[in-house]
């Protein structure tokens, strides 16, 4: 049985009490919800980039929902989702979402300031008529697929007709440890547990632990739900699996200490490398900077 989530939702991380509550939710429930942490402008830009790709793929301009359904009728849904993700990444929209002030603030408090995001992935989409477990996932833990124990997973709605999340969670299940599983399903669960639905929509985000047991919520509406899903890790935290070498990461935020290391290069082998020389390739030569993203 699914019930409304008991977790508070925070409009802005603008004081320590709200931040502490979000941290407590992540610690105790296994996830935290942030509302209005991503600007409407950035969400609209993400939707525009996806619509543009779908229009080129189909040879005609369509809205995001109709375009996605038409693309999935002609191509494998997973391939469409991967290409949409890659466009969001190539245009730096994915990175800019993760750098939004409130979202970044909570990430830093959870795992520190030296952050990288998983650069391989796909958007997540659920459609009412699709029951394939690849797209409509049953109860599972992200760690089954290879994410690290110290990684924070994010689920960020980009096309959500109503504030209904699309993701159902079992509170406290991240404290159960790694659950035995077979064929993408848990072999054993406690006799009693509750499944809740954190209510988030466009502009909101869910941050959750890799051991949280969760599943896709059914989509009863005609429009597909589309969300950006990714992992964020601290590059100085070495939680090893047998899978990390298969998963590429992009650095997107540095602490002052890491910035010093980056500027020094190999400080042990190149003494005085920066003495008297420019610390950056950026020079005041009158040339223009390349924009942050090229469509």
Residues 159-168: tens digit of each pLDDT: 987 777 789 9
- Is the separation of the CB atoms in 127 and 78 below 8 Å? no
Q: Which residues fall within 8 angstroms of residue 94, CB to CB, at 6 or more apart?
A: 85, 88, 117, 228, 230
Task: State residue 232's pLDDT score.
Answer: 97
Predicted confidence (pLDDT) at residue 293 exceeds the cutoff of 60: no
Residue 76: count other Cβ atoms within 10 Å of its Cβ.
11
Q: What is the pLDDT of residues 136-158, one digit of tens each?
A: 899 999 999 888 899 999 999 99
Q: What is the pLDDT of residues 168-226, one digit of tens each?
A: 999 999 999 999 998 888 998 999 999 999 989 999 999 999 999 999 998 888 899 99
Predicted confidence (pLDDT) at residue 95 exceeds the cutoff of 90: yes
- The DSSP bridge partners found for residue 140 are 214
- Is the separation of the CB atoms in 183 and 244 below 8 Å? no
What distance in Å separates the CA atoms of residue 20 and residue 155, rounded to the nearest whole number?
Answer: 21
Task: State residue 287's pLDDT score.
Answer: 76
Report the predicted TM-score, pTM, of the whole model to 2 decimal places: 0.86
Predicted confidence (pLDDT) at residue 1 exceeds the cutoff of 70: no
Q: Which two tokens stand for residue 232?
A: 């964020």
- Is the separation of the CB atoms in 260 and 154 below 8 Å? no
Q: Which two tokens stand for residue 184?
A: 């993408």
DSSP-derived secondary structure for 178-225: SPPEETTEES---SS--EEE----TT-EEEEETT--EEEPP--SSSPE
Q: What is the pLDDT of residues 120-140, one digit of tens each?
A: 888 999 998 888 888 889 999
- Is the separation of the CB atoms in 226 and 124 below 8 Å? yes
Predicted confidence band at 295 (pLDDT cuts at 50, 70, 90)? very low
* 2-254 fold: Jelly Rolls (2.60.120)
Q: What is the pLDDT of residues 35-57, one digit of tens each?
A: 899 999 999 999 999 999 999 99
Predicted confidence band at 266 (pLDDT cuts at 50, 70, 90)? confident
Predicted confidence band at 118 (pLDDT cuts at 50, 70, 90)? very high
- Is the separation of the CB atoms in 207 and 29 below 8 Å? no
Stretch among 90-94, 235-239, 283-287 having the lowest mean pLDDT: 283-287
Mean pLDDT of 62-90: 95
Give the residue carrying structure tokens 């540095």.
254
Predicted confidence (pLDDT) at residue 280 exceeds the cutoff of 70: no
Query: Between these two residues, 295 and 113, which has the higher pLDDT value?
Result: 113
Q: CB burial class (10 A; 0-12, 13-18, 19+) of residue 280?
A: exposed
Cα distances from 97 to residues 40, 51, 205, in angstroms, run 11, 18, 10
Task: State residue 183's pLDDT score.
Answer: 84
Mean pLDDT of 80-96: 96
Give the residue carrying structure tokens 């993203």.
293
Q: What 3-state class would DSSP assign to 97?
A: helix
What distance in Å separates the CA atoms of residue 103 and residue 84, rounded to the nearest whole number?
Answer: 22
Task: State residue 231's pLDDT score.
Answer: 96
Q: What 3-state class would DSSP assign to 156?
A: strand
Cα distances from 67 to residues 70, 88, 157, 219, in angstroms, run 5, 16, 17, 18
How do beta strands 185-186 and 2-4 pair? unpaired
Q: What 3-state class would DSSP assign to 17?
A: helix
DSSP category for residue 66: H
Q: Where are the domains of the chain?
A: 2-254
């Amino acid at each position: 049985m699914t019930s409304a989530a008991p977790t508070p939702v925070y409009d802005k991380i603008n004081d320590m009490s709200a931040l502490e509550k979000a941290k407590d939710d992540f610690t105790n429930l296994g996830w935290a919800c942030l509302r209005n942490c991503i600007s409407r402008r950035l969400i609209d830009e993400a939707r525009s980039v996806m619509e543009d790709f779908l229009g080129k793929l189909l040879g005609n301009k369509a809205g995001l929902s109709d375009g996605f359904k038409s693309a999935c009728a002609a191509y494998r849904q997973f391939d469409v989702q991967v290409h949409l993700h890659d466009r969001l990444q190539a245009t730096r929209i994915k990175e800019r979402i993760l750098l939004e002030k409130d979202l970044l603030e909570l990430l830093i408090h959870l795992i520190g300031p030296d952050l990288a995001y998983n650069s391989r992935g796909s958007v997540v989409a659920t459609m009412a008529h699709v029951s394939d477990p690849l797209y409509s996932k049953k109860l599972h833990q992200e760690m089954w697929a290879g994410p690290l124990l110290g990684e924070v997973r994010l689920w960020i709605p980009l096309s959500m007709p109503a504030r209904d999340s699309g993701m159902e969670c079992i509170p406290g299940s991240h404290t159960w440890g790694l659950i035995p599983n077979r064929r993408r399903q848990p072999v054993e669960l406690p006799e009693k547990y509750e499944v809740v639905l954190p209510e988030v929509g466009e502009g909101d985000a869910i941050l959750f632990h890799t051991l949280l047991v969760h599943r896709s919520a059914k989509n009863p509406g005609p429009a597909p739900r589309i969300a950006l899903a990714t992992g964020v890790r601290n590059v100085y935290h070495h939680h090893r699996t047998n899978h990390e070498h298969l998963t590429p990461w992009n650095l997107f935020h540095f602490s002052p200490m890491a910035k010093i290391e980056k500027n020094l290069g190999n400080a042990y082998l190149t003494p005085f490398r920066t003495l008297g020389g420019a610390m950056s390739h950026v020079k005041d030569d009158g040339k223009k900077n390349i924009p942050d993203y090229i469509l």
